Homo-oligomer: A and B are copies of this chain.
Amino acid sequence: MSPSAPRTGPAGAPPAGSRPGGRSARVRAAVHRAVRELVADESGDALTIPVVAARAGVHATTVYRRWGSVGELLSDVATSRFTGGFVVPDTGSLRGDLERYAANMARDLSDPDTLALVRATLGSGGEQGAAACQGDRRQQLAAILEREEARGGGTPSLDHLTDALVAPLYYRAVFTDLPLATAWARDLVARLLPDEAPQPPADR
């Protein structure tokens, strides 16, 4: 291993799991930052490892050795972006938790840089990239459901919750130019938990 020293300085705090201040952590931070910036600036040109390496100020061979391909690299960046660091709402009710969770997701996926990262990672990362874009959402939603069960409430299954809440949010963000409005996200929860406000088929 003979990575060149990053031309740019270390980018903020080193990621968890790396030795703080180590050269490896600095390279990782510089490369991740370069990927995030290039994806956000997306000009329609393909993201390549030489371009990322030049922007990060490291040798391309270092990037190839550590990540192997653009798909692996994007998956790693997406995993960092979408795993951990999110607070799971605990409002005391399933409805409250899901409304808060959906509103947070809607806000997050409305960010153009986040959306660009999701699309780029789906484009190059295959199954691994797709999983990376999910982060730990399933575990987070499972935790919300478990709390409701502990309170003695009925809950939808995790798969039903995913179909009814997570899927429309990701779909609308990734496939359409419709806004991810908070009121719309709340409607998704109302359809999923209809006891308070029954939804006829022609509900809007």
What residues on B are CB-neighbors of A123 within 8 Å? Answer: 119-124
Interface size of A by CB at 8 A reads 53
Which of A3-11, A16-24, A55-63, A153-161 lines the interface with chain B? Answer: A153-161
A154 in contact with B45 (CB, 8 Å) = no
What residues on B are CB-neighbors of A195 within 8 Å? Answer: 201
B159 in contact with A204 (CB, 8 Å) = yes
What residues on B are CB-neighbors of A167 within 8 Å? Answer: 167-168, 170-172
Known: A167-B168, A168-B163. A44 touches B124 (CB 8 A): yes
Q: Is the interface of A mostly helix, strand, loop or mixed?
A: helix
Q: State the number of copies, please.
A: 2
Q: Which 10 A-B pairs have the closest CB atoms?
A: A123-B123, A167-B171, A46-B46, A163-B168, A44-B69, A167-B168, A167-B167, A44-B71, A154-B202, A130-B175
Q: A134-B175, A167-B168, A195-B201 are in contact. List 6 more A-B contacts (CB 8 A).
A: A119-B122, A154-B201, A156-B202, A157-B204, A163-B168, A163-B171
Pairs across A and B, CB under 8 Å, 27 listed: A44-B126, A46-B46, A119-B122, A119-B123, A119-B126, A120-B123, A122-B122, A122-B174, A122-B175, A130-B174, A131-B175, A133-B175, A134-B176, A154-B201, A155-B201, A156-B201, A160-B204, A162-B168, A163-B164, A163-B172, A163-B188, A166-B171, A167-B172, A174-B174, A192-B201, A193-B201, A195-B201
